[in-house]
Amino acid sequence: MTDKSDNALLSLIGKRVPVLDRGFVELQDLMPHPATGVSGDLAIVSAARTSFLGEGKGDEKDRKLLNYLMRNKHTSPFEMVEFKFRLKAPLVTWWQLVRHRMASLNMQSGRYVEFEDDEYYVPAVWRKQSQSNKQASDGVIDPSDDEVLTKELVAHYERCYKLYQDALSKGVAKEMARLFLPGFAVYYTGVWKIDAHNLMRTMQLRIANEAQEEIRVYASAMYEHFFKPALPWTAEAFEKYVLSKPEA
């Protein structure tokens, strides 16, 4: 497990995965960087043993230790691996993502940059309100209503954007003109850095069925396309001891 500076891991850096209609998840950086030749799994094991970075005792013992750490919630070694993502997501997703406070975040500034006219989220389907859970959705609405709702939404966005442009043309500051934009639907880009322990916690909560679809797709993209290939042993233990168990 010491030599993991293979092309597959290196190619994760800069990889971009499309999410929703205009969003994406992109990995900007990873610590340990694959070019160092130390895999993330081994960095976790090394931290637990407080041995030299990259020093292992062989795959079997290293893997056993990693499973032990996960099973016994010995979480701090997992903080030694960090993921830095660039995310483009509608505000409805960011609204929930920022609740995960053990992360570092830098967002695009709507005071500085003008919003583009097509930077809004248009859902592919309209989900129905769940009857059993007040904050969740369940199934989709009648397809005959789908097209009408989407048309109304797009018309609403276009009207909002025109009002935004009108305000700008009257000399209103960008920081105020944006009050005309449809808040939850607007796409924002941000850089989000988080360690593997806190990312697992975020994914556990946000991949769950109860989570809103607009954050589930981001959490799933981070997990499938980046976390799993970067930390295969950790992902295996995470699925076995955390994801498959209902929250205590």
Ligand X SMILES: Cc1cc2nc3c(=O)[nH]c(=O)nc-3n(C[C@H](O)[C@H](O)[C@H](O)COP(=O)(O)OP(=O)(O)OC[C@H]3O[C@@H](n4cnc5c(N)ncnc54)[C@H](O)[C@@H]3O)c2cc1C
Task: Write out the catalytic residue numbers.
Answer: 206
Cβ-count burial of 44 within 10 angstroms (0-12 exposed, 13-18 middle, 19+ buried)? buried
Least distance in angstroms from the C-beta of 136 to ligand X: 8
Given the complex with ligand X, which of 163 and 205 has the nearer CB atom?
A: 205
Would residue 73 be called left, alpha or beta, if left means φ above 0 and alpha means ψ between -120 and 50 degrees?
A: left
Q: Which is nearer to ligand X, 49 or 127 (by Cβ)? A: 127
101 vs 170 by CB, closer to ligand X: 101
Q: How far is the CB of 201 from ligand X (least distance, A)?
A: 6
Torsion over CA: 83, 86, 91, 93 (sign): negative
The nearest distance, CB 111 to ligand X, in angstroms, is: 25
DSSP 38: -
Contact footprint for ligand X (CB under 6 A): 99-102, 198, 201, 205, 210-211
The two beta strands, 104-107 and 187-195, are antiparallel
Q: Among candidates 48, 78, 88, 110, which has minimal Cα distance to 203?
A: 78
Minimum distance between the CB of residue 167 and ligand X, rounded to whole angstroms?
31
CA distance 127 to 32: 40
**Given the complex with ligand X, which of 122 and 205 has the nearer CB atom?**
205
